[in-house]
Amino acid sequence: MNELEQLYQAIILQHSKERHGFGELQGGLASSHQVNPTCGDEVTLELSLDGENLGPLVWKGSGCSISQASLSVMYDLVEGKKLAEIRSLFTDFKTLMHSRGQEVDEDILDRLEDASAFQGVSRYVARIKCALLGWMALDDALLQAESQRGKVQAHQEAEHCITVSPVED
């Protein structure tokens, strides 16, 4: 194992133990529960939005060190970021996971920061789902939150609408 692989392994082990963002669920705007039926990993993730940025995020789950570390790294990477940037990071992480251990563009690795440590995981098809579990929960919860926000805005706009009847001649 070369030095870079050892560093990546250390990052994954550290995050699997520290589990950044792990905590009691608070009843955020949206939540998603995801399960990997292959190995039994599961996570429930809750979040809120702060305008166009991610608001408070918390997750609770259990599983292998890869799924738990991926959630922890993801939390650090997306905390407080703009929603568009989070979507881009999710695309980058999926690209990394589907690389099958092949070279990935350096720009992607730079944007992913510590999440680039999962590049070696992409060589093991059975472990890709473990690494993607939290990201799938995040994506699902973001879609729900944006949908909820859209419904609230539409309702508020409807309350402020004035109905005008046509004037008869």
Distance CA 134, CA 118 (A): 13
Give the confidence band of 27 by pLDDT, cuts at 50, 70, 90. Answer: confident
Give the confidence band of 94 by pLDDT, cuts at 50, 70, 90. Answer: very high
Residues with Cβ within 8 Å of residue 154, at least 6 apart in sequence: none
Distance CA 55, CA 83 (A): 10
User: Considering the entire predicted model, what is its pTM?
Assistant: 0.85
Give the confidence band of 168 by pLDDT, cuts at 50, 70, 90. Answer: low
8 Å CB contact between 30 and 148: yes
Average per-residue pLDDT in the chain? 88
pLDDT of residue 155: 45
8 Å CB contact between 134 and 65: no
Sheet with 30-35, edge to edge strand ranges: 30-35, 42-50, 53-62
